């Protein structure tokens, strides 16, 4: 790798550390309380798995998807140690485990798993090469018949509160309001709405502490093109909740 390539990689790593990893460790508790309801297509993918399947959740966060299907075994990983701390106590006995790991350096044996999910993670990698590498790394974990479900934030969100759309800048900093006092229970829905308003650009109060997270907003067909560049094929794809999603697998092996 050239010195320019090394410099570019180092800059990307530093950017992700400051505007992704550090931020999620700082907001982990608050973030977890706004992420508790499974998305329909993710739930459908997991429920439809063959009993006894073994897979991984790359960027599992607070572990909300690990218990969706009690008939499969899932190993979850996340770069955020604070989110993993939250995920651990919520795990049922047997069938699941979690660990701290980087999405580009997963601690698993290659070609082992029947399935994988990676929900709203890859858009946090800050260069095209690293995003393609992240897809490739997921594909490397799958066995010959394995499939992975990947979600990324979409650029085309003109009907959402955020208002992003085709032709706008794709690399953005998205604010998160870290509240001084946070209570779960009856205030959960209110806190979720406030956080959604914040991400949509609603004015922030002076006393709130604001953290900024880096996102790459995927334009239509960009995820599918990255999958092909990573050596995979797209089995199914679509748009849900301001995200592009794709079910992917490895290219068939030649005879």
Tens of pLDDT along 140-198? 999 999 999 999 999 999 888 888 999 999 999 999 987 654 433 334 444 554 555 55
What residues are paired with 119 via a beta bridge?
Answer: 151
What is the per-residue pLDDT for 93?
A: 57
Mean pLDDT of the chain: 87
The predicted-structure confidence for 199-252, as pLDDT tens digits, reads as follows 555 454 544 689 999 999 999 999 999 999 999 999 999 999 899 999 999 998
143 SS3 class: strand
Is the per-residue pLDDT at 73 higher than 90? yes
pTM: 0.86
pLDDT at residue 7 tops 70: no
- Nearest Cα to 76, choosing from 93, 59, 94? 59
Q: Where are the domains of the chain?
A: 3-154+218-250
- Tokens matching residue 239: 């748009």
pLDDT digits (tens, 9 = 90+) for 27-38: 998 888 887 789
The helix or strand, by DSSP H or E, that contains position 116, with its residue range, turns out to be strand 113-119
Look at domain 3-154+218-250 and name its CATH class.
alpha beta
């Amino acid at each position: 790798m050239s010195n320019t390539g090394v410099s570019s990689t180092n800059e990307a790593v530093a950017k992700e550390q400051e505007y992704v990893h550090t931020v999620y460790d700082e907001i982990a508790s608050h973030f977890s309380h706004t992420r508790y309801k499974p998305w329909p297509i993710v739930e459908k993918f997991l429920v439809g798995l063959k009993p006894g399947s073994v897979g991984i959740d790359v960027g599992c966060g607070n572990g909300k998807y690990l218990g969706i299907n009690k008939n499969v075994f899932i190993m979850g990983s996340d770069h955020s140690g604070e989110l993993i701390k939250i995920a651990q106590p919520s795990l049922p006995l047997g069938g699941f485990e979690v660990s701290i790991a980087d999405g580009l350096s997963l601690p698993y044996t290659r070609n082992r798993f029947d399935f994988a999910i990676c929900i709203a993670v890859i858009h946090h990698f800050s260069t095209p090469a690293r995003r393609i590498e992240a897809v490739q790394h997921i594909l490397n974990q799958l066995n010959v018949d394995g499939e992975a479900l990947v979600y990324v934030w979409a650029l085309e969100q003109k009907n959402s509160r955020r208002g992003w759309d085709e032709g706008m800048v794709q690399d953005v900093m998205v604010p998160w309001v870290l509240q001084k006092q946070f209570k779960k229970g009856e205030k959960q829905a209110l806190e979720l709405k406030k956080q959604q308003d914040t991400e949509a650009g609603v004015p922030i109060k002076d006393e709130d502490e604001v953290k900024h997270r880096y996102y790459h907003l995927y334009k239509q067909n960009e995820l599918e093109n990255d999958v092909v560049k990573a050596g995979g094929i797209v089995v199914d794809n679509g748009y849900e909740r301001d995200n592009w999603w794709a079910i992917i697998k490895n290219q068939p092996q030649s005879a």
